[in-house]
Amino acid sequence: MKTSNSIVVWFEDRNEERLLTEYLQKNGFSCAACHDRKQFDELIHTSSILVIDLNLKETDAILLCHEIKQKKEANTPFIIIIGDKLEDYTHVTALDLGADDYVMKPVKLQLFLKRIEALCRRKNIGLEKNNGHETGFNIDMERHVVLIDSNEFDLPKKEFDLLNLFFSVPNKIFTREEIAILLWKDESIARQRTIDVHIRNIRKILGKELIKTVKGFGYGLNKVNG
């Protein structure tokens, strides 16, 4: 269990960095800021989540993300990239090269906190935050299994990725177009029945109540305990 400097924040703008780290600390998380690559490399091994500014001058944030994930070490930290680029290409590239989430500036602190908590649930991370009780639903990324209460479920890769997408932002309803771009990199998939088939298969394995359908819009995760 990682308990020291569990969240590391590397921002180019010190004011943005201060606001974010202070908010996370106020909400019970162990959080450290770093200001250069040397310090970042020292902190990474004691961290569960890395929050990296897209606009770093010292290094390319997306390539840094790729470098970290390519090492494939045990307990590789989750990575959130914070950026101001609106185009889908930047979002997709960041996710393709290993980022677990991409958050637009200006950061909405309450929503960002929920994203952090969602990442924690995905791997049962033991950050220095008292949650009171464990959720009955988790995703174990290392073993590639879904956990519901004490039961483990295996899903085909695309269905696992789809459920993991919903779980990464549990309060969001994803449009078909967003799902198609993020998982298939092909918006035309949204006009086919492919997504519906995968949703139906997930429901067969895990139950009908897990995934919420918003008619004419898309899908998301129904409220789970936690």
Task: Return the CATH number of the domain spanning residue range 7-123.
Answer: 3.40.50.2300
Residues 192 and 148: beta-carbon distance below 8 Å: no
Comparing CA positions, the residue from 120, 105, 111, 82 lying closest to residue 6 is: 120
Comparing CA positions, the residue from 171, 49, 168, 84 lying closest to residue 118 is: 168
Residues of the chain with CATH 3.40.50.2300: 7-123
Residues of the chain with CATH 1.10.10.10: 137-221
Predicted local distance difference test score (pLDDT) of residue 125: 47
Query: pTM (2 decimals)?
Result: 0.57
Backbone torsions φ then ψ of 30, nearest 5 degrees: -80, 120
Instruction: Tell me the three state secondary structure of residue 140.
Output: strand
Q: Where are the beta strands (DSSP E) in the chain?
A: 7-10, 31-34, 49-53, 78-83, 101-104, 137-140, 145-148, 151-153, 173-175, 211-214, 218-221
Predicted local distance difference test score (pLDDT) of residue 143: 77
Q: What is the pLDDT along the chain (226 residues), one digit of tens a residue?
A: 344 458 999 999 999 999 999 999 998 889 999 999 999 998 888 888 999 999 999 999 999 988 888 876 657 889 999 998 877 778 888 888 888 889 999 999 998 998 888 777 765 544 444 333 344 677 877 678 888 877 888 889 889 889 888 887 777 888 988 888 888 888 889 888 899 999 999 999 988 888 999 988 899 988 654 4
Give me the sheet containing 218-221, strands edge to edge. 173-175, 218-221, 211-214
Predicted local distance difference test score (pLDDT) of residue 35: 92
Count Cα atoms within 13 angstroms, Cβ side, for 120: 24
Structural domain 137-221, CATH architecture: Orthogonal Bundle (1.10)
Pairing of strands 31-34, 7-10: parallel
